[in-house]
Amino acid sequence: MYKYERAVALSRSKINVDKQKTEPKPFLTDIKTLRERARKNIAGGGVTFTYHGDVKKTIEILQSVLATEIVCVLRYTMHAVAAQGISSEWVKAEFAQHAKEETEHMNQVAERINQLGGKPDFNPTGLATRAASEYGTADNLVEMIKENLIAERIAVDHYRELIRYFGEDDPGTRTMLQHILVVEEEHANDMHDLLVAHQGRPMLP
């Protein structure tokens, strides 16, 4: 039995080595061609020959991400002002910190749309329907925390999917979303901890 397993492992490692030998390396463009291409179509800015995404579709997706971030800025800002009750001060400070970070995301996404040749859509008309997250209706501290936790969980799921969608076609947009995702995961965790602190038990099993 042992001999058999060893033989299988050996043959598997041989297959891997053979595969490495036969698989072609990724293609690298020579410097002369790179320079020539960069000089052509300079109106494209950062969208160059090697951009494999669909620029129009990317801008459309990012307008929805922008709306999501704007709604998050508005919700956290409102909560930071409106939160009331015992021990609300440090919760308000947390909401205000999140509002600041959502503003940074909003600006990063708007910049990216601009880089791709689009015009960031800050129009308040239709904002709520363009966004994945919701503005909310909470009127007490615990409800506010819950709303924010749900909104963060929506953002986390949405951005994870988008990161997979962009993959290698648009590494610039993907990397930006990866950085934002890490912060959204922290936000979700912060809201979950606040909820535990105020309710004495986790909402999630």
Measured from the CB of residue 187, what is the shortest distance to Fe ion in angstroms?
Answer: 4
User: 């809201």: which residue's tokens?
Assistant: 191
**How many residues form the binding site for Fe ion (CB under 5 A)?**
6
Q: Restricting to residues 61-80, which ones interact with Fe ion according to CB under 5 A?
A: 69
Which residue, 109 or 116, is less far from Fe ion as judged by CB? 109
From the list 94, 191, 75, the residue with the least C-alpha distance to 136 is: 75
User: 């909820």: which residue's tokens?
Assistant: 195
CA trace torsion 160, 162, 164, 168 (10° rounding): -140
Measured from the CB of residue 78, what is the shortest distance to Fe ion in angstroms?
Answer: 15
Measured from the CB of residue 44, what is the shortest distance to Fe ion in angstroms?
Answer: 28
Among 79, 146, 158, 187, binds Fe ion (CB under 5 A): 187
CA trace torsion 184, 185, 189, 192 (10° rounding): 70
Give residue 29's Cα distance to chain centre. 31
Q: Per CB under 5 A, does 192 bind Fe ion? A: no
Site map (CB under 5 A) of Fe ion, residues 117-156, x = contact: -----------------------------------x----
Q: Restricting to residues 93-112, which ones interact with Fe ion according to CB under 5 A?
A: 102, 105
Which residue, 69 or 170, is less far from Fe ion as judged by CB? 69
CA gap 48, 132 in Å, rounded: 30
CB within 8 A of 63, min separation 6: which ones?
Answer: 113, 118, 120, 121, 130
Which residue, 49 or 134, is less far from Fe ion as judged by CB? 134
Site map (CB under 5 A) of Fe ion, residues 166-185, x = contact: ------------------x-
Which residues are at the interface with Fe ion (CB under 5 A)?
A: 69, 102, 105, 152, 184, 187
